[in-house]
Amino acid sequence: MPTEPNVDQTTIASFGDEWSRYDQSKLDEEELKKIFENYFQLFPWSALPPQAEGFDMGCGSGRWAKLVSPRVGLLHCIDASSEALNVAKRNLAGHANVRFLVATTDSAPLGPGSQDFGYSLGVLHHIPDTFAAMQACVRLLKPGAPFLVYLYYRFDNRPAWFKFVWRLSETVRAAVRAMPAPLKAVTTDVIALMVYWPLARMSLLGERLGLHMRHMPLYGYRNLSFYTMRTDARDRFGTPLEQRFTRDEIEEMMAQAGLENIVIADGEPFWCAVGTRK
C-alpha cells in the first residue's frame, strides 16, 4: 500500500506566502554573507570534487543558493512550494548552474547516491517525520559526501528561565499561526518591532558595555537588520508545524540516517551540524 506523503500542506502554503512577502531582495549583501558564514562554518568546501553536484533541500527564496552556486558545478534547488520556487528563480536568474525542482524530500527526482553534497537549513523540523526526511536526503548522497543541516534546538543549553519564556511565546505562536496570511504578516511585523528589535538592540548595548548577554532572548539578532527580524518573526510565529531537538537527538538522528564524522557547531545558530554519508 502507498505510504502517506511526509508533508504538511498548510506549512508548505505558509512558506510560499512567507517567501513571496519577504523575498530577501531587500537583504543587504554583507548581512547575507555574515548569516551564510554562520550556517556554513562547518561545511567542508575543500573536500568537494571539481564541478561538484549537490542539492539545497527546501531552498525557499534561494538566499543560500545565491552564495553556494558560484562554488559548485551544479546545484539543485528543491522546494515543495511552487510559489517559493518562483521567488528563488527570480533571485537566481543570473545563476546558470542552478536547476529548480518542485518536490518534497521523498519525491526529489535525483538518483540515489548521485550527489556530491547536500544541505537543508531550517527545513526538516517543519516536516512531520524529520528523521524520515533526513534519511531521504542522505540517500541522495554519494559515500563520503557531506550533508549540512540546521534544526531548531530544544534549548538544551539554556537556563530554566529561558525555557519558561519560550513556553510563554508558544501561546502567542498558537494564535498567530492560525491567522489568515495578511493578518499573520501584520502581527509578526508588530512582534518584530515590539519584541525582536528592542531585545536585540538591548543585547548589543549590553555587550558594548561589557555585560554578559549571551542568554538574552534574541541575542543572535543584535547585529542584524530589522528586515531579517521581520522575516524570522514570520517564520517563528507564523509557521503551522514546528519541531525542536536536543543536540544529542540531532547527533543520534544523523547517525541513524547513515551519516558519520558528525560535527555540531558550539555557537549560534543552534544546532548546525554536518556529517558525511557512510
Going residue by residue through the chain (278 aa), what tens digit of pLDDT does each one get? 457 889 999 999 999 999 999 999 999 999 999 999 999 999 999 999 999 999 999 999 999 999 999 999 999 999 999 999 999 999 999 999 999 999 999 999 999 999 999 999 999 999 999 999 999 999 999 999 999 999 999 999 999 999 999 999 999 999 999 999 999 999 999 999 999 999 999 999 999 999 999 999 999 999 999 999 999 999 999 999 999 999 999 999 999 999 999 999 999 999 999 999 99
Tell whether omega for the bond before 269 is within 30 degrees of 0, i.e. cis: yes
How many Å apart are CA 223 and CA 136, to the nearest integer? 35
pLDDT digit string (tens) for 78-92?
999 999 999 999 999
Q: List strands edge to edge, sheet with 98-102.
A: 98-102, 74-79, 53-57, 117-121, 146-150, 272-277, 259-264
Question: What pLDDT is stored for residue 4 in this prediction?
Answer: 80
Instruction: Determine the longest span between alpha carbons in the chain, in angstroms.
Output: 63
DSSP 133: H
Within its chain, how far is the Cα of 258 from the centroid? 21
DSSP 188: H
Between the CA of residue 4 and those of 132, 251, 275, what are the distances in Å? 12, 26, 28
Q: What are phi and psi of 146, to 5 degrees?
A: -85, 150
pTM: predicted TM-score of the whole model, two decimal places: 0.95
